[in-house]
Chain A
Amino acid sequence: MSEPLLQLEGVHTHIGQYHILQGVDLLVPKGGITVLLGRNGAGKTTTLRTIMGLWHASRGSVRFAGGDITQSPTPEIACAGIAYVPESMSIFSDLTVRENLFLAARGVKSADQMDEARLEWIFGFFGALKKFWNQPAGTLSGGQKQMVAIARAIVEPRKLLLIDEPTKGLAPAIIQGMIAAFRELKQTETILLVEQNFSFVSALGDSVAVMDGGRIVHSGSMAELTEDRDLQHKLLGLSLDTHQ
């Protein structure tokens, strides 16, 4: 078994006086999509933010690609090869789509030097980006903004993508498009995906970890979870095919 790309051991995170993560043990293997499931408030976003260094773990360790990143500052973690797509998308509305992606392309000095082939690849599953290339990102619709956010994370090759609820608030038609895009992405990228939309996740996920009360309460393969309805019920409170 090759070493996991990302490993959290006994991670505790406090925010102010709130003890959010209470000993998280998580393994993300290289390649494919690992899904992080759980109710609201279980600590999924906090986990992603802790990995990214936006909040620092008060105890435990976070190891990535063989190195310890527990107390590293966020820019360093990003440069180590982790890209983050937050729940709120956080695109820069004042900047155009082109400028948003240009900022994310750390390796290039000027916008013309961005990898054309890679951009065409991205336009392949996010066609709207080509159309709105010179529009301020703030004028785009929700689904399009989400495309910008994800495109930013893949404009250059990264080792790991942390994606937080990409389908939140999006229309079903757009979500279908996202599924296709992710199917393509997972062939080349490793993704840790936080999602509540189970149909999205069951179609795409390879392994799954379920969080509750700041801890991982189950981990295993996605196939196993999809088949075992009792397990679904126990972990998530309802059976997964009734869950949207």
Chain B
Amino acid sequence: MLNQLHETCRKLLEDGTVQVVIGYGQSSPDTPAYPIFVTRPEDVQQLVWNNQCFGNLTTYLTRKEVRAMGKPAIVVKGCDEKTLVVLEKESQIDRSQIVVIGMACSAVGNPPLAKCQACEVHMPRFADATIGQVENPASETDGRYADLEAFLQKTPADRMAYWMNELDRCVKCYACRQVCPLCYCETCIVDKNRPQRIDTSPTLKGNYAWHITRAFHLAARCVGCDECTRACPAGIDLRLLNLSVAKAAETDFGFRAGMDPEVEPVVGSYSEQDKEGFIR
């Protein structure tokens, strides 16, 4: 697989089809891979592909600096590829101006990450070049929301206590926002102070406000790459928050972000049949 990746990227750069390849690099085996931006054909040897390739590289597609580098090729796993569907629906990328290199992936991490155990996109679906093959790609298990459902067994009071404890550790580093490909707003709502809608201090009040806002802004957009959880230096399980909104989107609207490019986004559309048992 690695040779094929190198060959593909070398050709793309040599032909001038792309000006930059966004892929994974690694300093030594068994350490997490990091993003690299290859512009010369001879440098494609730096690209790696293994179960340490955690990052969702699509986050770079919306950055000014990367756009300025020219037409990109990007290495994605199936889960990252879902982000491309959402980004295109939101007019952030022009799919025809990107070369997508999809890598077949059975799992990342050792032991495999939680998201990999319920993965339904081991094989990329919309790539321009697909590399590799997964034998017996696991069909979708219902375990997608298992962690959330286990959490919801707690009483509301216990859940509140849990979050008061967890969110206390948040220092407002905004790593979650920086790493997220869907947090592409030029000026984030939290950075605005007329009015100051969200308390920016790293107090419980400010942390609650921030995380509720971010989770909600990702409603029916978050594809579950879980990079935010992985990036959080305080070890907060942000996954639970994003899953709860994703579950609501799936239960109420049968919608799963990033799966079907033809479906209209949930937020910004409506149906007269939306269920409203909770409204008097």
Note whether A and B form a binding pair.
no
